[in-house]
Amino acid sequence: MKIALIDYGAGNVQSVLFALERLGYQATVTDDPDTIKKADKVIFPGVGEASSSMQMIYNKKLDTTIPALTQPVLGICLGMQLLCSSSEEGNAKGLGIFDIQIKRFSNQLKVPQMGWNTIANLKTELFKGIKEEEYMYLVHSYYAPVNAYCIATTNYGINYATAIQKDNFYGVQFHPEKSGKAGEQILFNFLTI
């Protein structure tokens, strides 16, 4: 299986690579549109700031490549947020695959949300073998409100969408690569969709 890990200058690429290796899979870290298009599965990771990350995506001409993909695509953390239409972070315009506006957590909460929290209301084969209220690792200041594409929620002052899906596109706000055995199960489920 050919797995492409999109490299656009955002962090956490190495930790995703190591998690895939623990599962027995090799991935190609690439920003080449042709390599990405030919992959069986595409992972779109991300740790960083939305507007500068979108600028890197434009610079690498990936803003047309990513939305046109037809194979399963998994956005992780910032990668998930960039699949949406916009983000309050840097007033960024996203890739528009999901009609969702990413919002900043209220100042009433400790921001960023950092550490372990539970996921609930699990839907789709992405969560096969994962129990309700399983703990996942999160680090983020911005979130997707609960929406029509929501396939899992987390509560941090409010309920928000911690996973979304539309057609072949999946997004998770948490870091499966840093979430122990349950996170690895989610990565495995994605690779076997």
CA atoms within 13 Å, Cβ hemisphere of 157: 14
Sequence-distant (6+) residues with CB within 8 A of 113 are 105, 138, 139, 140, 141, 156
Q: How much of the chain is in helix, strand and coil states, percent to nearest 5?
A: 30, 35, 35
Hey, which residues are catalytic here? 77, 175, 177
**Main-chain phi, psi angles of 34, to 5 degrees:** -65, -45
CA angle 41, 144, 15 (to 5 degrees): 45
